[in-house]
Amino acid sequence: MERKYDATAIESKWQKDWEYKGLHSVKKDTDKEKFYLLEMFPYPSGKLHMGHVRNYSIGDVMARYFTMNGKNVLHPMGWDAFGLPAENAAIQHGVHPDPWTRDNINNMREQLKTLGISYDWSREEGTCLPEYYKWTQWIFTQFYKRGLAYKKKAAVNWCPSCSTVLANEQVVDGCCERCDSLVEKKDLEQWFFRITDYAQRLLDDLDKLPGWPDKVKTMQENWIGRSEGVQLEFRTEAGDAVPVFTTRHDTVFGVTYMVLAPEHPMVNKLTAGTEYEQPVKEFQKKVSQLSFIDRTSSDLEKEGMFIGAYAINPMTEEKVPIWITNYVLYEYGTGAVMGVPAHDQRDYDFAKKYGHQIKRVVAPKDWDGSELTEAFESYDGIMVNSGKYNGLSVTEAKVAMAEDMEAKQIGKRVVNYRLRDWLISRQRYWGAPIPIVYCDTCGEQVLPLDRLPVLLPTDVEFRPTGESPLKTSPTFRDTTCPKCGGHAVREMDTMDTFVCSSWYFLRFTDAHNPQEAFSKDAANYWMPVDQYIGGVEHAILHLMYARFFMKVFHDMGLVEADEPFTNLLTQGMVLKDGSKMSKSKGNTVSPEEIIARFGADTARLFILFAAPPERDLEWNDAAVEGCSRFLSRIWRMYVQMIDMGGLDEALPAELNEADKNVRRALHGTIKKVSEDIAVRRQFNTAISSIMEAVNAIYDYLDTPAPKGAVLGEAARAMLLLLAPFAPHITEELWHELGNQDSVHEQQWPDYDEAALVRDSIEIAVQVNGKIRSRIEIPANLGREEMEKLVKGLPQYTEWLGGKAAIKTIAIPGKLVNIVVK
């Protein structure tokens, strides 16, 4: 055996061996409990970063642990390979996105393999491969047939830098999620997925996910943004209906004006041919020029103008003026709002500025008749100035009025969501083409499966024009209609890459199926994903889209489960000098270099040891060396143990004190590591516990008595415990112990309860909660015996300090507290 630990030699040796043996490929096996473990697949940028290393190290610990515990573990990897960087590279360097992406994938795959993660590479998939995007397109066609994919003209988010539209979820603080450019509004005809149909289920089913962090569930809840209210029909003097949405229909007697979004179609109708027409047009123009961020900012100065028309309040028959403002959003509710200055702070500010009447209709119980100085928004109040509803509480009034509104057919109870339909069109090349053609005679036609995939043409030019580069292809545009066979033109937009990543976990269950996206059988065996691991930045986007897809597939009868991910772990970021590692900040540490210098086992160990998985992790070069030293220390320990020999002997019936101590440390560690991985997902403490056991074994090695058998037990168990964290060094040492098979195919060790038992323990003696002493007592004493023992001690009166003991609290195994006065 080598006297020194040589990580590089060991690691490449075993990586080749595992691959050769196919150690990590899995098949359906109904004899075993399945466990689907998935890490969010990466975009193939070409280079692995520390965030990846962290993500996959966490996943690999679990995958190896559950495998050793007899589960049939599916642990696949693939590539989220469509997207803008490839296309930008094409524009800048003239390389075609396809080979560019394939090169990156090849590089990253090699880097990933040097980490020694237990992936089943036979299931590798890439979203940019025709064999994959064929099925993405097929899914689109199914959505289309179910009415879940539709085209409409709408004001959409436009990123001028990426030259494409964005989904609402991809707009962060009014800027593009990718490139931070200020997002503009554009009127365009675009494809949408009707995710709003699933809003309520996406919300309700969050309750089915106890294994998700509350933080993520809350974020999704807020994003869906359910609110209950009434849609109430105001009318213009001409009799046109202008419905408003309100959650405070109880305040309808307090309406003193009505506000429309400037884009509201009724605005032009009401002002056409009047003196207001021109000024209104100017106001509309001004508002439309506001950036997205300004328009939705609460700092925006509220501005508005009267448009010369009046609306009738259907409950009071009162006539109120109609205004337009910059603070009402056309996209939410009905784009029309009733102005109740007394009970809505925005309306209050607006009324103060423009001199609208402020009419109180809810008052606190002890109201002294005083004037309002701000809006009274509380629900804790009594109705006033509200006709027959006076005297009711807000809650009672809400019910009574809603019933009356429905009875009079002037309003209905409705639920509104903040969630909008998902805009999936992208005016870019490097994505899955939308499988739609426009026939000269039959119009819009969806392509059948035998016309899929719609392949990306290669004869395109890459120019940042704001139009899909597909339009530059001489061969792509013209095709035939699937219905009549006549001339048709293809849809030129591609799909948002988030579409591709919304079902990849299903494809892994049946990765190369040429007939179907995935077979029902495979999906039902493996799904749902038992443990999903990735960055919290996907809390809304990817994680909600994937849930949406899963529910649609469930409804289509393709899979039984209707939630994709049972347990979710959102890992923290990897920081250097206090901020996220990034190229622009120049604070990156390259995994490649770390692996070359210390080995993958050290890199993995450090990243798992430095912080609990959910928390951010500060990179520390010195601590990395510490982990490397720890592995060397382990190596030397095995050199010493193997030199001593006798490791294969059976445990003797009689054990000495030293034997018992080291066995207690070992079995305590087995218990702790098992719990930390399986239950607490707290790998840093699992590793520290292994370190403690190593220290205990070193102490034991210094004791004089013969110890082969006890050492042998420890030598084997320690490798099993460490195997999920540092798979290569443990495999090497496992073989040095004389084993022929892989350490990763072994059964996870059980701990011996009897070995944990102590004869005596140290407890604390407290007086009024302050430590006075620590004493050694027999481990099995109960409350009364402990109390008796402490009272009988010679120091007892000294501890009391001349005061009287009122009572004594004894906690077995912990302490005795004497309360004195």
Partner RNA sequence: GCGGGCGUGGCGGAAUUGGCAAACGCGCCAGACUUAGGAUCUGGUGGAGCGAUCCCUGCAGGUUCAAAUCCUGUCGCCCGCACCA
Local structure of residue 181 (DSSP, 8 states): P
**Contact window for RNA (CB under 7 A) among 21-29, 186-194, 220-228, 706-714:** 220-228
The answer for residues whose C-beta is within 8 angstroms of residue 723's C-beta and 6 or more apart is 64, 68, 730, 731, 734, 743, 744, 746
Q: Which of 297, 378, 465, 656 binds RNA (CB under 7 A)?
A: 297
- Looking at the Cβ atoms of 44 and 229, the one nearer to RNA is 229
Show contacts with RNA in window 53-92 (CB under 7 A): none
- Least Å distance between CB 707 and RNA? 17
Decide whether 21 or 353 has the Cβ nearer to RNA: 353
CA gap 104, 86 in Å, rounded? 10
Pairing relation of β-strands 125-126 and 78-79?
parallel
Q: Does residue number 661 form part of the binding site for RNA (CB under 7 A)? A: no
Report the DSSP pairing between strands 565-571 and 529-535.
Answer: parallel
* Out of 3, 93, 583, 770, the residue judged to bind RNA by CB under 7 A: 770
Nearer to RNA, 223 or 422 (CB): 223
Query: Total residues contacting RNA (rule CB under 7 A)?
Result: 89
DSSP calls for 28-76: --TTS-EEEEEEPPPP--SS--HHHHHHHHHHHHHHHHHHHTT-EEE--
From 23, 154, 188, 219, residue interacting with RNA (rule: CB under 7 A): 219
**Least distance from C-beta 636 to RNA, angstroms?**
7
Residue 680 contacts RNA per CB under 7 A: yes
Backbone angles phi, psi at 671, to 5 degrees: -65, -50
The Cα 394–Cα 342 span in angstroms is 14
Residue with smaller CB distance to RNA, 587 or 632: 632
Residue 685 sits in the site that holds RNA (CB under 7 A): yes
To RNA, the closest distance from the beta carbon of 820 in angstroms equals: 9
- Residues 417-476 binding RNA (CB under 7 A) are 418
Torsion of CA 716, 722, 728, 732, to 10 degrees: -20
**591-598 and 600-609 are packed helices; what angle lies between their axes, rounded to 10 degrees?**
110
172 counts as binding RNA under rule CB under 7 A: yes
**CA 265, 270, 276, 280: dihedral to nearest 10 degrees?**
-10
- Of 126-134, 218-226, 421-429, 724-732, the segment contacting RNA by CB under 7 A is 218-226
- Distance CA(596)–CA(708), nearest Å, equals 36
Segment lying near RNA (by CB under 7 A), choices 29-37, 297-305, 480-488, 515-523: 297-305
Rounded to whole angstroms, how far apart are CA atoms 357 and 340? 9
Residue 371: Cβ-neighbour burial (10 angstroms; 0-12, 13-18, 19+): exposed
- The window from 42-50, 330-338, 584-592, 740-748 that contacts RNA (CB under 7 A) reads 330-338
Q: Which of 4-20 are b and which e, b meaning 16 or more Cβ less than 10 Å from the residue's Cβ?
A: ebebeebbbebbeebee
| Member of 122, 768, 795, 797 binding RNA (CB under 7 A) | 768
Please identify, using beta-carbon distances, which residue of 32 and 353 lies nearer to RNA.
353
Shortest CB 180 distance to RNA, Å: 13
How far apart CA 159 and CA 166 sit, in angstroms, is 7
Is 167 a residue that touches RNA (CB under 7 A)?
Answer: no
Q: Which of 106, 181, 222, 288 binds RNA (CB under 7 A)?
A: 222
Is residue 625 part of the contact set for RNA (CB under 7 A)?
A: yes
Answer yes or no whether residue 215 interacts with RNA by CB under 7 A. yes
Residue 338 backbone phi and psi in degrees, to 5: -85, 135
User: In angstroms, what is the minimal distance from the CB of 771 to RNA?
Assistant: 5
181 binds RNA (CB under 7 A): no
> Does 536 engage in binding with RNA (CB under 7 A)?
yes
Least distance in Å: CB of 229 to RNA?
5
Q: How far is the CB of 703 from RNA (least distance, A)?
A: 13
Q: What's the token pair of residue 702?
A: 């210094």
CB contact set of 589 (below 8 Å; sequence gap of 6+): 50, 576, 581, 619, 621
The residue assigned the tokens 């509004």 is 185
The C-alpha angle with vertex 760 and arms to 759 and 765, in degrees rounded to 5, equals: 160
Closer residue to RNA in complex, CB, 247/390: 247
Instruction: Please tell me whether residue 582 binds RNA under the rule CB under 7 A.
Output: no
Residue listed under structure tokens 């590539």: 79
Q: Decide if residue 395 touches RNA (CB under 7 A).
A: no
Which one, 175 or 309, has the nearer CB to RNA?
175
Q: Which range touches RNA (CB under 7 A), out of 7-15, 39-47, 310-318, 669-677? A: 669-677
Query: What is the layout of strands, in order, in the sheet containing 184-193?
Result: 164-166, 149-159, 184-193, 422-423
Identified binder of RNA from the candidate list 629, 758, 791, 803, rule CB under 7 A: 629
Q: Work out whether strand 382-383 and strand 362-363 pair parallel, antiparallel, or are unpaired.
A: antiparallel
Select from 92, 298, 373, 740 the one that contacts RNA (CB under 7 A): 298
Long-range contacts of 317-321 (CB under 8 A, 24+ apart): 318/255, 319/237, 320/255, 320/256, 320/257, 320/258, 321/257, 321/258
Q: Site mask, RNA, residues 333-362, x = CB under 7 A?
A: x-x-xx-----x-x----------------
In the set 57, 141, 313, 416, which binds RNA (CB under 7 A)?
416
Smallest gap from Cβ 544 to RNA, in A, equals 11
The least CB distance from residue 54 to RNA, in Å, is 13
The 3-class SS string of 400-468 reads: HHHHHHHHCCCEEEEEEECCCCEECEECCCCCCECCEEEECCCEEEECCHHHCCCCCCCCCCCCCCCCC
CA 514-72-10 angle, to 5 degrees, is 100
- Among 229, 243, 314, 564, the residue binding RNA under the rule CB under 7 A is 229
Going by DSSP bridges, is the β-strand pair 171-172/175-176 parallel, antiparallel, or unpaired?
Answer: antiparallel
Among 592, 692, 736, 785, binds RNA (CB under 7 A): 692
- CB 206: neighbour CB atoms within 10 A? 19
296 near RNA, rule: CB under 7 A: yes
Shortest Å distance, C-beta 530 to RNA: 21
In this structure, the dihedral spanned by the alpha carbons of residues 264, 269, 273 and 276, taken in order and rounded to 10 degrees, is: -30
How is residue 447 written in tokens? 């392509």
540 binds RNA, rule: CB under 7 A: yes
775 binds RNA (CB under 7 A): no
- For residue 480, give both structure tokens: 């035939």
Options 178-186, 403-411, 489-497, 533-541: segment touching RNA (CB under 7 A): 533-541
Q: Whole-angstrom Cα distance, residue 820 to residue 800? A: 7
Out of 110, 240, 406, 616, the residue judged to bind RNA by CB under 7 A: 616
Q: 138 or 635, CB closer to RNA? A: 635
What does the chain come to in residues?
A: 821
> Pattern of binders to RNA over 276-295, x per CB under 7 A?
-------------------x
Task: Among 324, 506, 568, 617, indicate the residue that binds RNA (CB under 7 A).
Answer: 617
Chain-centroid distance of CA 347 in Å reads 37
Which among 684-692, 706-714, 717-725, 751-759 is the span making contact with RNA, rule CB under 7 A?
A: 684-692
Burial, 464: exposed, middle or buried (Cβ in 10 Å; 0-12, 13-18, 19+)?
middle
Residue 630 in contact with RNA, rule: CB under 7 A? yes
Binding mask 232-271 for RNA (x = CB under 7 A): -------------xxxx------------x----------
Pick from 479, 590, 632, 703 the residue near RNA by CB under 7 A.
632
Min dist CB 500 to RNA, Å, is: 22
Q: Which of 399, 484, 678, 771 binds RNA (CB under 7 A)?
A: 771
Show contacts with RNA in window 788-807 (CB under 7 A). Answer: 807
